[in-house]
Chains A and B, each alone.
Chain A
Amino acid sequence: MIDPRSVAPLTRPTGPIAAILVGNPNVGKTTLFNRLCGLRARTANYPGSTVEEHIGRAWSDDGTAIDLIDLPGVYGLHLRTPESQVALRALEGEDGAPPHVVAIILDATNLARNLQFAATVLRRTTRAIVALNLSDEAARQGLTIDTDALGQRLRCRVISISARTGAGCLELLGAIQQAAAGPVRARESLDPGQPPPVAEPGDRDLVEWAADVLAQSAGGTAAAGSADDSFTDRLDVAFTHPVAGLLIFAAVMAGLFASIFWLAQYPMDWIDVAFGTAGDWTRAAIPPGLLADLAAEGIVAGVAGTVVFLPQICLLFFLLALLEDCGYLARASFAMDRVMRRFGLPGQSFIPLLSSHACALPGIMSTRLIPNTRDRLATIFVAPFLSCSARVPVYVLVIALLFADHPMWAGVAFVGCYALGAIAALATAWLLGKTALRGSASPMLLELPTYRLPDLKVATSLAVSRGGVFLRQAGSIILAICIGMWWLSAFPQVPESTTVAAIRAEAATLQGVDAARAGELLSEADSLQARDQRSGSFAGQLGGLAEPVFRPLGFDRDVVVAVLSSFLAREVFVSSLKVLVGAGDDSEIDDNTIAMMRDARRADGSPLLDRPAAVSLLVFYVLALQCLPTLAVVRRETGSWRWPIAQLAYMSLVAWGAAAIAHALMEHA
Chain B
Amino acid sequence: MGPDDHVCVCHRVSLRKLQAFLRREQPTVPSKLSECLGAGTGCGWCRQHLHRLWEQSQAGETPSITDDPDQYLAKREQEKRTKNSEPLALANQSQYDLEMAALAPPPPTRIPLSQLRTGERARVDCSSLSDLPEGERCLLQAMGMGDRCELKRCSGHGCIIQIDRTRIAVGSTLADRVFVERLNDRTAHP
Please report A residues at the B interface, Cβ cutoff 8 Å: 75-76, 78-81, 109-110, 112-113, 117, 194, 200-204, 206-208, 211-212, 215, 220-222, 224, 226-228, 232-233, 236-237, 240-242, 245, 330-331, 334-335, 337-338, 341, 440, 442-450
Contacting residue for A334 out of B17, B142, B146, B169, CB 8 A: B169
Contacting residue for A445 out of B16, B154, B168, CB 8 A: B168
Closest to A346 in B: B171
Q: Across the interface, which residues of B come within 8 angstroms of A224, CB to CB?
A: 165
Indicate the member of A81, A109, A445 with the most B CB atoms within 10 Å: A445
Closest to B148 in A: A204
Chain A to chain B contacts (Cβ below 8 Å), 26 pairs: A76-B139, A76-B142, A112-B144, A200-B138, A201-B146, A202-B143, A207-B146, A208-B20, A211-B24, A212-B23, A221-B164, A222-B189, A227-B165, A228-B152, A237-B157, A240-B155, A334-B171, A337-B158, A341-B171, A445-B140, A445-B171, A445-B174, A447-B166, A447-B169, A448-B160, A449-B167
Given that A240-B155, A334-B169 are contacting pairs, would A203 and B147 also be in contact in the complex, using a CB cutoff of 8 Å?
A: yes
Q: Across the interface, which residues of A come within 8 angstroms of B157, CB to CB?
A: 237, 240-242, 245
**Are A445 and B142 closer than 8 Å at their CB atoms?**
no
Q: Across the interface, which residues of B come within 8 angstroms of A202, CB to CB?
A: 138, 140-147
**Are A226 and B190 closer than 8 Å at their CB atoms?**
yes
Indicate the member of A208, A224, A226 with the most B CB atoms within 10 Å: A208
Given that A110-B165, A113-B164, A240-B169 are contacting pairs, would A78 and B138 also be in contact in the complex, using a CB cutoff of 8 Å?
A: yes
Report whether over half of chain B's contact residues are helix, strand or loop; otherwise say mixed.
mixed
Q: Across the interface, which residues of A come within 8 angstroms of B64, CB to CB?
A: none
Contacting residue for B167 out of A76, A207, A232, CB 8 A: A232
Contacting residue for B160 out of A81, A227, A240, A449, CB 8 A: A240
Given that A204-B37, A221-B164 are contacting pairs, would A337 and B139 also be in contact in the complex, using a CB cutoff of 8 Å?
A: no
**Are B190 and A79 closer than 8 Å at their CB atoms?**
no
Instruction: Determine the distance from Cα of A350 to Cα of B104 in the docked complex, in whole angstroms.
Output: 47
**Are B145 and A337 closer than 8 Å at their CB atoms?**
no
Q: Across the interface, which residues of A come within 8 angstroms of B170, CB to CB?
A: 443-445
Q: Across the interface, which residues of A come within 8 angstroms of B169, CB to CB?
A: 240, 330-331, 334, 444-448
Closest to A222 in B: B190
**Are B135 and A79 closer than 8 Å at their CB atoms?**
yes
**Are B166 and A335 closer than 8 Å at their CB atoms?**
no
Given that A204-B148, A233-B154, A245-B157 are contacting pairs, would A212 and B167 also be in contact in the complex, using a CB cutoff of 8 Å?
A: no
Contacting residue for B24 out of A79, A215, A236, A444, CB 8 A: A215
Indicate the member of A222, A228, A236, A338 with the most B CB atoms within 10 Å: A236
**Are A338 and B158 closer than 8 Å at their CB atoms?**
yes
**Are B24 and A220 closer than 8 Å at their CB atoms?**
yes
**Are B172 and A203 closer than 8 Å at their CB atoms?**
no
Instruction: Determine the distance from Cα of A300 to Cα of B35 in the docked complex, in whole angstroms.
Output: 72
Instruction: Determine the distance from Cα of A152 to Cα of B50 in the docked complex, in whole angstroms.
Output: 31
Closest to A209 in B: B20
Say if the beta carbon of B136 comes within 8 Å of chain A: yes
Given that A201-B141, A236-B154, A240-B157 are contacting pairs, would A445 and B136 also be in contact in the complex, using a CB cutoff of 8 Å?
A: yes
Q: Across the interface, which residues of A come within 8 angstroms of B156, CB to CB?
A: 237
B158 nearest CB across to chain A (Å): 5
Q: Across the interface, which residues of B come within 8 angstroms of A226, CB to CB?
A: 190
Instruction: Determine the distance from Cα of A442 to Cα of B174 in the docked complex, in whole angstroms.
Output: 9
Instruction: Determine the distance from Cα of A330 to Cα of B166 in the docked complex, in whole angstroms.
Output: 14
